[in-house]
Each structure stands twice: as C-alpha cells, then as structure tokens.
Amino acid sequence: MPFQPIRKALFFEVPINNFAKFDPRIKCITLKKNVGIAGATTVAMDAAKGQYVAFFDHDDLLVDVAIEVMVRAAHETGAKLIYSDEDKIDQAGYYLEPNLKPDFNYRYLLGCNYICHLTMVDVATMRKIGHLTSDYNGAQDHDFVLKATEVLSPSEIFHVPEILYHWRKTPNSTAVDVSQKTYAINAGVKCVADHLKRQKIASKVSSIRGLTLYGVEWTSRTQPSVTIIIPFKDQLDTTLTCVKNILKHTVYKNYNIILIDNWSVRDETLDFIKKIQENKNVSVITVEEPFNFSRLNNIAVAQATSDYVVFMNNDVFVEDPKWLHRMVGEAQAFKDVGAVGAKLLYPNDTIQHAGVVVGPAGVAAHIHRGDPLSEYGYIGRTMLSHEVTAVTAALMLVRRTVFDEVGGFDEEALKVAFNDVDLCLKIRRAGYRIIFSAETIAYHHESLSRGTDDKPEHETRFFLETQTMLERWSSDPLFERDPSYPRYFTVDQQTFFNLVDPEDLP
C-alpha cells in the first residue's frame, strides 16, 4: 500500500510508524514531496520483497482472508495475475453495489477496468510490466492490467469469484461519481488507446457518456468479403424492408446478399424474387423443403465464397450505416475471434439481445432482455463490447474458416431452436472467442415472419431440441458455468437479477 504525504501526513505518520515497530512486515516510506498516485505506487513496487504484490487503496477494506484466498488461488492455478470480486462500503459501514465479475474477458477490459480491486500479481511479472507513469494518473491501475495482458497469456490471469475487497464510498470519490474526475476519464482513454497502438491495432478510443467506459472503433482500411444470408418465406413486406435497409444504409462496400427462399407461394413474393436479382449484389436460392433453419443456412454458406458470413433474420432491420464495419472490425482486430453478435432492439427501444448466457437451468437466456436502450446494464454490459459464450444468429457474423472447421449448424438434431447456441459453443470449444458488439445496433421484430412456437408439434420439437442441448453440453465446463457471466447470478430469463442460493454453489 503506497503511503503518500498529503496535508495530514504528519498526523498519520506516527501511528503508521508505530505499527511498523511492532510488525516487521510493515514498512512505512515517507516521501518528501507529492509525486502523484502513480509515482507513490511505483516507490512501493520497487520496495516490495515478497513473491506477490497486491494493490490496496489506503482508505478501503480487505476481507480478513483476502490475501490467503488470493495466494492459494495463485498456487493452485499457476496464475501470474489474480483478481477478485468487490463491493463498496459507505460512510455508515453498509456494504452495497456488489461488482460480481466474469472470468478474464479481454474485450471487456478494453471498455473498462472491470478487474480493478483486488488485484494481485507475482513480482516477476510486475518487473516485466515496469513502472507506472504519471501520464495515466487516475487510470494507472487500468494501464497496469492492460500492460499485464501484453506479457501474460489469458490462462495466466485468474478470477477469484469471491468479494474480498470493500471500496470506500466518500463524497467526491471515484467510487461515488467518476464523472467528477475528468482527469481519470482522459487518462483511461489514453491508456486504452496507447495499449492498442502497442499492439499495432488501428483504432479510435473515446469515452462513453463522459464516464470511464470506453468505446473502441476499429479503423482498419481493409474490407474482407462478406456474404449476408437471409432465409425467408413469403411475408414480403418484412423481407423487403430487411433487404432495402441493407442496400440503403450499409456503407461497407465488399458484401453480397444471398436470400434463401423457403417455399414461398405468393405471386408478389415470386415477382420480388425475379426483380431483386437484377441487383448484382443479390442472389436467391430456392429450397423447397420443410423449414429447417440450420439446413437453410448451411446450404447458403456452401454457395458463399466470402471471408465472412453474416446470418440475418428477415425481420431484422439495420439503420446504422456502419453496422457491418463494426461487426467486421471486431472480427478483424483479433485472429482468435470466431463470431460477432449485435445489440438487437425491439421496436420500442428495449433490448432483445445483448449476448447470450448459457447454463443447465434453462439452456440459454438473452442478457438484459427487456432493459431500456438508455440503461448501462450490469457494470456497463449493454454499453460495452465484450466476450460472451454465445450470440443469436438473428444477426451474427462468423469467420468462414471457423464455420467450416466446427461443422456449421446442426441440421439433424437442432432444426429450429438452439442451433446458434450450439454453433457458438462449438466455436468456443475450438478455442475462438465470441464478441458481443455493443456498438452494432439493429431492430428485431422477433419471429414476425414465422410466428410463435405455441403449436403442439412445435412444443414437442422444442422439448426434444432442449434435451439435445442438455445431453450434448451439460458436462462441458463452458455450459456448467458460463465464464462470461458471474456465477452468483442464476441463468434465467431475467439476467443479472436473481442470486444463486449459496448452498447450491460449488
């Protein structure tokens, strides 16, 4: 814990020195001038003689077993950087605002310092990272963790899912309102931008709503080829709006559209099929078979020759000119990204999809479904792009080579439901990441073209497909505990709301 002289330094110096007299583990370093938080922390880092260093603010509280739990986790996992969950403590001593975190989530870390407290790092790694600099005062901890990702693999960063740290909430503190400290916001933008420059990734970083939440726009000038695949059956108004919006709004140039006609019979639809193909970027495949979402898309992918494929429902309407730029950008930025999903909205501007959480309780649930677009979500989840275990194929971009590698959609056992979740789990199991792109926004008039699944035969099919998912994935670690979702929350239709019974935790 760095001790830094302030106006009341003499008041604190005597009792701290007294503690040091009685406990050789405590060392008090008094500086002759205020060198800022980064400078003071660096002095303490240089003086550290243990195997690990933990960072702790002078007015916060640790759980009594915090260090023991963190060190045990380091020894058991071999991790070089370990972080825990945290909450806040107010002036009356009440604990509030628990920050229950996902396992290591690099894309989320670019958007905010979700790791924060408590962080512990082994000394050898700390020396590799180097000193903190005053350039990032106010975001020096974020800068430190980002630099750690430059010298550590993801497997060397471990999350302890326990609240071990209480961040004190005092008037004018960052814990109360970070917008009061614009220097911290500017430093955060700079540290993320500088990290991406060191990684040689073209990007532009900005603050979201004047907070320490950061949007990253990928600015690569290359445009790999993309095929947009849209199944449909009649419902001409819906399909026409979907296609027209793509052609009207999309500024990305290197794309084509494959429409999959699944046995349309109306004359106006057949006329549309003939006319739309006058556009050189649009083609139509007719499949006269019973509806099978997986098979329709697999057939279309087999016809595609592009670098990426986008799966899109015909009741999804895009309006943002950069929607395809954003999705391709997320996939291009990192070679280990296999798929990218979008933020989908209902027509009333509430969230329909902000990523998918998986788990044995309900197979899968859409994150923050029903929340207003204006809200941040849990710890910025709806505002920030981050890694998730699955996304919906209502609007999903997949790297073509990855789609082929994992075998595409399961058209035998998952004809309608959960085929996208199954595909995502296969992509994750193959070692690729899946990104929810918070900046990519489209409207989804859910199941407008097919209607609901309330017929008896549909309910039977849904039950069988649910059983298929449980039999196939229930023993997989990704499914047993979704690493992108805090383990203390239940996996149900209202995400980030109900807590798991402590007796049910492992």
CATH code of the domain covering residue 398? 3.90.550.10
Question: 289 and 185, same structural domain?
Answer: no
- Distance of alpha carbon 335 from the chain centroid: 16
Which of these, 393, 404, 401, lies nearest to 356 by C-alpha position? 393
63 close to 163: Cβ distance less than 8 angstroms: yes
Question: 256 and 161, same structural domain?
Answer: no
How would you label 218-241 residue by residue, b for 16+ Cβ within 10 Å and e otherwise? beeeeeeebbbbbbbbbbbebbbb
Residue 442 lies in a domain: yes
Question: 405 and 328, same structural domain?
Answer: yes
Q: Coil, helix or strand for 155?
A: helix
Residue 141 lies in a domain: yes
Structure tokens given for 202: 């073209």
What is the biggest distance separating any 2 CA atoms in the chain, rounded to whole angstroms?
A: 91
Question: 232 and 166, same structural domain?
Answer: no
One digit per residue, the tens of pLDDT, for the chain of length 506 reads 443 333 334 445 567 778 888 888 888 888 889 988 889 999 999 999 899 999 998 889 999 999 999 999 999 999 999 999 999 999 899 999 999 999 999 999 999 999 999 999 999 999 999 999 899 999 999 999 999 999 999 999 999 999 999 999 887 666 555 555 789 999 999 999 999 999 999 999 999 999 999 999 999 999 999 999 999 999 999 999 999 999 999 999 999 999 999 999 999 999 999 999 999 999 999 999 999 999 999 999 999 999 999 999 999 999 999 999 999 999 999 999 999 999 999 999 999 999 999 987 779 999 999 999 999 999 999 999 999 999 999 999 999 999 999 999 999 999 999 999 999 999 999 999 999 999 999 999 985 555 555 677 788 999 999 999 999 999 999 998 999 999 989 887 778 888 887 767 66
Enclosing domain of residue 420:
226-449+456-480
The neighbour count for residue 350, using CB atoms within 10 Å, is: 15
Residue 221 lies in a domain: no
Question: 268 and 190, same structural domain?
Answer: no
β 255-261/226-232 pair status: parallel
Residue 19 lies in a domain: no
Residue 434 lies in a domain: yes
User: Between the CA of residue 498 and those of 110, 183, 212, 228, 494, what are the distances in Å?
Assistant: 28, 36, 27, 37, 8
Question: 231 and 204, same structural domain?
Answer: no
Residue 17 lies in a domain: no
Q: Which residue is associated with the tokens 């004359």?
A: 267
The residue out of 165, 186, 210 marking a domain boundary is: 210
Structure tokens given for 129: 């990272």
Question: 206 and 233, same structural domain?
Answer: no
How would you label 74-98 residue by residue, b for 16+ Cβ within 10 Å and e otherwise? beeeebbbbbbbbbbbeeeeeeeee
Question: 230 and 202, same structural domain?
Answer: no
Question: 368 and 267, same structural domain?
Answer: yes
Question: 272 and 204, same structural domain?
Answer: no
The pLDDT assigned to 178 comes to: 58
Q: Say which amino acid occupies 129.
A: I
The residue out of 184, 210, 236 marking a domain boundary is: 210
pTM for the whole structure? 0.93
401 CB burial (10 A radius; 0-12, 13-18, 19+):
exposed
221 close to 172: Cβ distance less than 8 angstroms: no
| DSSP state string for 34-102 | --HHHHHHHHHHHH--SSEEEE--TT-EE-TTHHHHHHHHHHHH--SEEEEEEEEE-TTS-EEEEE---
The residue out of 210, 234, 267 marking a domain boundary is: 210
Question: 109 and 189, same structural domain?
Answer: yes
Q: Coil, helix or strand for 210?
A: coil
The pLDDT assigned to 175 comes to: 54
Classify residue 485 as left (phi > 0), alpha (psi -120 to 50) or beta. beta
Structure tokens given for 394: 């209502």
Which of these, 459, 500, 503, lies nearest to 481 by C-alpha position? 500
User: Between the CA of residue 101 and those of 77, 87, 98, 467, 492, what are the distances in Å?
Assistant: 18, 11, 9, 30, 18
Question: 250 and 201, same structural domain?
Answer: no
CB under 8 Å to 311, separation ≥6 — which residues? 229, 297, 393, 394, 395, 396, 397, 398, 420
Calpha distance 186→212 (Å, rounded): 8
The pLDDT assigned to 304 comes to: 98
Calpha distance 424→297 (Å, rounded): 15
251 close to 321: Cβ distance less than 8 angstroms: yes
Domains identified in the chain, total number: 2
Residue 77 lies in a domain: yes
Calpha distance 377→25 (Å, rounded): 42
- Distance of alpha carbon 372 from the chain centroid: 19
Residue 129 lies in a domain: yes
Output the 3-class SS for 225-261.
CEEEEEEECCCHHHHHHHHHHHHHHCCCCCEEEEEEE
